Amino acid sequence: MASISLRGAQKSYGDHQPVIRNVDLEIGDNEFCVFLGPSGCGKSTLLRMIAGLEDLSDGELRIGGKLMNEVSSAERGVAMVFQSYALFPHMTVFENMAFGLKLAKTPVETINKKVGEAARILQLENLLTRYPKALSGGQRQRVAIGRAIVREPGVFLFDEPLSNLDATLRGQTRIEIARLHKQFAAASVVYVTHDQIEAMTLADKIVLLHTGKDMEQHGSIAQVGTPLTLYHRPVSRFVAGFIGSPRMNFLNAKVAAIHGDGVQISLDDSGEMLTVAVSGAKLTVGQAVTLGIRPEHLETIATGASQPQTLSRTVTLIEALGELSYLHLNAAGEAPLIAKAPGDAVAKVGDTLTFRAPAALCHLFTEDGFAVPHLETLP
């Protein structure tokens, strides 16, 4: 049993505002759970609370159903992999991986068997006699993971394990970690990152933590869900703006009409009318709202006579990435409107283009930052 349960978990340092605020969270037996959020939101602190490297100021932590608040880190059945690898420089790869088992007075044959097996899985067999200084960053990180694996923990804790690796190695190691999780299906994984690609590709469940000016929310959970739930059904403007790159476009608008099949809005900067497939039950005509539309959901269409459900904007800048281009479009406010277009799209600065904004892919947020519920469940 390696489920993790947090109830009313809180962490404060001295008299300061809590850095973790009232966290209720269940992580299942074999679940891969990613803590995601901007720098300083408390991801590492929450992970370290589970590891036993930080006390809870309030609330309860259970692992496998057992209350862990007062249990030492070594006795929690968790193994942690750090961003810095934390290998012993004077020990070989084998000795680093065997260290915890030796401390636990594990018989030598068992140590040899377990380290040999982990080295095979992680493709470290030829490096067992090397010292860390003679390894690449990726190899060091594999040793750190191997050291965790041999302990056969119920819970693996990863704190930004890939952030010291270059882009290619990051991708390879990410796939390695996903594969390992399948092999150790009984163990749960908690993984801290601020990298959305890691979160989206690895997680069964993402826990997105709040940060920002609103100290009432800092360190609390903004949303918990599958990667696609957070992408398609963000519960707030904060979540919508954090998930997705380039981030979702936000445009100020007013409610113009409320229908059974959606809410019609009028954009403040252009007067253009769009329907958003959300429930109007709690809205009133004239109410100020924010439209959210992702760059990849703005679909370029042939310019012509004015068509329903479209926006017409002038291109102010083009970022050509080869496979695709980001078109920056004029909009009132500080941020431009951004549309993703195919790399071979013929557009130039100064062109006025027309984009369809499909009603089901638009989002609406009220002034308090919460999302208006969609009429349809997930696409």
Ligand X SMILES: Nc1ncnc2c1ncn2[C@@H]1O[C@H](COP(=O)(O)OP(=O)(O)OP(=O)(O)O)[C@@H](O)[C@H]1O
**Do residues 77 and 155 lie in contact, with contact meaning Cβ atoms separated by under 8 Å?**
yes
Q: Closest distance between ligand X and the C-beta of residue 48, in Å? A: 7
Range 165-194, binding ligand X (CB under 6 A): 194
What is the SS3 assignment for 290?
A: strand
* Half-sphere exposure (Cβ direction) of 118: Cα atoms closer than 13 Å: 25
What is the SS3 assignment for 321?
A: coil
Q: According to the binding rule CB under 6 A, does residue 43 interact with ligand X?
A: yes
Q: Closest distance between ligand X and the C-beta of residue 211, in Å? A: 7
**Residue with Cβ nearer ligand X (44 or 264):** 44
Span of 36-44, 57-65, 285-293, 363-371 interacting with ligand X by CB under 6 A: 36-44
List the one residue from 44, 139, 236, 275 that touches ligand X (CB under 6 A).
Answer: 44
DSSP 18: P
User: How far, in Å, are 35, 83, 140, 165, 357 from residue 207 at the CA level?
Assistant: 5, 20, 28, 24, 29
Backbone angles phi, psi at 146, to 5 degrees: -60, -40
Q: Closest distance between ligand X and the C-beta of residue 194, in Å? A: 5
CB neighbours of residue 49 within 10 Å:
24
Q: According to the binding rule CB under 6 A, does residue 214 interact with ligand X?
A: no
Q: Closest distance between ligand X and the C-beta of residue 259, in Å? A: 42
**Residue with Cβ nearer ligand X (42 or 146):** 42
**Using CA atoms, how far apart are residues 75 and 154, in angstroms rounded to an integer?**
11
**Using CA atoms, how far apart are residues 157 and 48, in angstroms rounded to an integer?**
9
**Residue with Cβ nearer ligand X (41 or 291):** 41
Q: According to the binding rule CB under 6 A, does residue 12 interact with ligand X?
A: no
Q: Which residues pair with 27 in a beta bridge?
A: 4
CB neighbours of residue 321 within 10 Å:
9
**Residue with Cβ nearer ligand X (208 or 267):** 208
List the one residue from 30, 40, 95, 326 that touches ligand X (CB under 6 A).
Answer: 40
**Residue with Cβ nearer ligand X (144 or 341):** 144
**Residue with Cβ nearer ligand X (194 or 356):** 194
List the one residue from 18, 42, 77, 154 that touches ligand X (CB under 6 A).
Answer: 42
**Residue with Cβ nearer ligand X (198 or 272):** 198
Q: Closest distance between ligand X and the C-beta of residue 38, in Å? A: 7
Q: Closest distance between ligand X and the C-beta of residue 173, in Å? A: 19
Q: Closest distance between ligand X and the C-beta of residue 358, in Å? A: 34
**Using CA atoms, how far apart are residues 252 and 352, in angstroms rounded to an integer?**
21
- How many residues lie near ligand X (CB under 6 A)? 11
> Residue type at 343?
G
Closest CA to 110 of 118, 119, 120, 101: 101
Q: Closest distance between ligand X and the C-beta of residue 13, in Å? A: 4
Closest CA to 151 of 100, 208, 221: 100
List the one residue from 9, 19, 124, 221 that touches ligand X (CB under 6 A).
Answer: 19
What is the SS3 assignment for 174?
A: helix
CB neighbours of residue 48 within 10 Å:
19
What is the SS3 assignment for 348?
A: coil
Span of 41-49, 70-78, 107-115, 242-250 interacting with ligand X by CB under 6 A: 41-49
Span of 42-50, 134-142, 310-318, 329-337 interacting with ligand X by CB under 6 A: 42-50
Q: Closest distance between ligand X and the C-beta of residue 37, in Å? A: 6
**Using CA atoms, how far apart are residues 307 and 79, in angstroms rounded to an integer?**
58
Point out which residues bind ligand X (CB under 6 A). Answer: 13, 19, 37, 39-45, 194
